[in-house]
């Protein structure tokens, strides 16, 4: 065979391989896209009677003493017989309570010594749920404590990041809205997954940050619901599932509204106006066994309820429901405990104000003062 013919054969083989690879990639993309659930929210969605899906409600006032004053719940973690509450805005502390709200201990302190954090940005548990991990994002460090708050050890992290989560036993997830930082520069991407040695396995989702645009609509873009890990990029309506691959899982839209452009001199102002005046996804995404609760802007808007079996959206409205459901309207944090329990954390001032607004006597509710620690409300679903 002549050299020209041999080269032609090689070229045809390469072209064939490219076509096959592209075809396989398209098939994979189609498969991934086919698994997306489109969640469309409308002002005309029917109201759901929460009594029909909620079995029980319990109130957990967090005990207040001089050494554990909490102004805002920025982190809320549930472990075996433990409630772990972080406030990185007011008191800058982490507090341990039992399942009835009795105060047990503080977890670490502000500082630079052993067992101390400069400024914690995230709280999670080890995969076996037997230890607490506190992320000191400024120092690129993970601190480990037992469930009684006793310091165990710390670990230097390969990246500085707001949120760090151990994933799949031997992988680590790093997320930061301004871009994950490796100590010398930002990687520009907001999600980085590494192996146990810190080697990057994947890096995705460019940051929306720039000098004239630094809006963040939700402090925690990583969500773990029933052992499933989801990621919602800043200012995005897509929920991605993190497994062996990063796969789009839910696409959220609100009829009649469109996110404004991030470009232009007035982009920041336009976006703030948008979230203050338009119903839109605020980043809260809590998946239970049968239902998904989707948080909405403007502040004070009830979340939408999505039924996974029927694939329908419903509105919550306290005019149609028992007043104990009105706490969905104004909360600090919305969090799943397990597949059938959802928790709302709200300040004592918000709690009392809401009771006054709905005209309910506090006789039917736990009695607390405006200066007391926040209250946790737990809803148990059928």
Which CATH number fits the domain that encloses residue 82?
Answer: 2.120.10.30
Residue 239 lies in a domain: yes
CA dist., res. 31 & res. 198, Å (int):
30
Query: How far apart are alpha carbons 201 and 192 in whole angstroms?
Result: 8
pLDDT of residue 278: 94
- Asked whether residue 27 is domain-assigned, the answer is no
Q: Are 318 and 326 in contact (CB under 8 A)?
A: yes
* Nearest in space to 303 (alpha carbons), one of 317, 288, 289: 317
CA distance 80 to 273: 42
pLDDT of residue 33: 54
Domain assignment present for residue 19? The answer is: no
Provide the number of structural domains found in the chain: 1
- What residues in the chain have per-residue pLDDT under 50? 1-31
Check residue 40 and give its pLDDT. 97
Tens of pLDDT, residues 146-186: 999 999 999 999 999 999 999 877 899 999 999 999 878 88
Is residue 3, in this structure, part of any structural domain at all?
no
Q: Do 123 and 132 contact (CB within 8 A), yes or no?
A: yes
The helix/strand count (H/E) of the chain reads as 3, 27
The predicted pLDDT at position 51 comes to 87
Q: In this structure, what token pair is assigned to residue 243?
A: 């497994």
Q: Is residue 179 in a domain? A: yes
Within-domain flag for 320: yes
Query: Which structural domain, as residue segments, surrounds residue 182?
Result: 37-381
What does the pLDDT read at residue 53? 93
Which tens digits make up the pLDDT trace of 281-324? Answer: 999 999 999 999 999 999 889 999 999 999 999 998 765 566 78
Which pLDDT value is given to residue 12? Answer: 37
Instruction: Please report whether residue 31 resides in a domain.
Output: no
Q: Give me 132's structure tokens.
A: 């607490």
Q: Report the distance separating Cα 232 and Cα 363, nearest Å.
A: 40
What is the model's pLDDT at position 220?
86
Residue 143 in domain: yes
């Amino acid at each position: 065979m002549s050299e020209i013919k041999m080269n032609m054969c090689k070229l045809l083989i390469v072209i064939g391989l490219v076509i096959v690879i592209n075809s396989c990639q398209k098939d994979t993309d189609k498969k991934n896209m086919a698994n997306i659930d489109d969640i469309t929210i409308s002002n005309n969605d029917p109201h759901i009677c929460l009594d029909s899906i909620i079995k029980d409600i319990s109130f957990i006032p967090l005990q207040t003493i001089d050494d554990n004053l909490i102004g805002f719940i920025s982190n809320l973690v549930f472990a075996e017989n433990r409630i772990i509450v972080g406030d990185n805005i007011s008191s800058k502390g982490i507090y341990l309570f039992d399942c009835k709200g009795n105060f047990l201990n503080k977890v670490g302190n502000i500082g630079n010594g052993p067992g101390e954090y400069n400024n914690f940005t995230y709280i999670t548990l080890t995969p076996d749920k037997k230890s607490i991990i506190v992320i000191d994002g400024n120092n690129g460090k993970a601190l480990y404590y037992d469930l009684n708050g006793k310091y165990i050890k710390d670990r230097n992290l390969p990246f500085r990041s707001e949120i760090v989560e151990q994933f799949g036993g031997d992988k680590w997830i790093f997320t930061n809205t301004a871009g994950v930082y490796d100590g010398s520069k930002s990687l520009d991407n907001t999600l980085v997954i590494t192996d146990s040695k810190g080697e990057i396995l994947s890096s995705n989702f460019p940051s929306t940050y720039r000098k004239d645009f630094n809006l963040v609509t939700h402090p925690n873009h990583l969500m773990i619901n029933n052992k499933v890990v989801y990621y919602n990029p800043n200012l995005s309506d897509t929920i991605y599932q993190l497994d062996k691959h990063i796969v789009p899982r839910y696409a959220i839209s609100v009829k009649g509204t469109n996110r404004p452009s991030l470009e232009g001199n007035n982009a920041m102002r336009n976006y703030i106006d948008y979230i203050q005046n338009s119903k839109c996804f605020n980043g809260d995404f809590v998946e239970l066994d049968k239902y998904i609760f989707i948080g909405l802007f403007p502040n004070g808007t009830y979340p939408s309820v999505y039924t996974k079996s029927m694939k329908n959206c419903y509105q919550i409205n306290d005019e149609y429901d028992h007043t104990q459901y009105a706490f969905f309207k104004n909360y600090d944090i919305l969090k799943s405990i397990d597949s059938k329990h959802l928790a709302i954390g709200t300040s004592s001032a918000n709690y009392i104000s809401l009771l006054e607004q709905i005209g309910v006597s506090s006789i039917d509710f736990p009695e607390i003062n405006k200066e007391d620690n926040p209250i946790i409300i737990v809803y148990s679903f059928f």
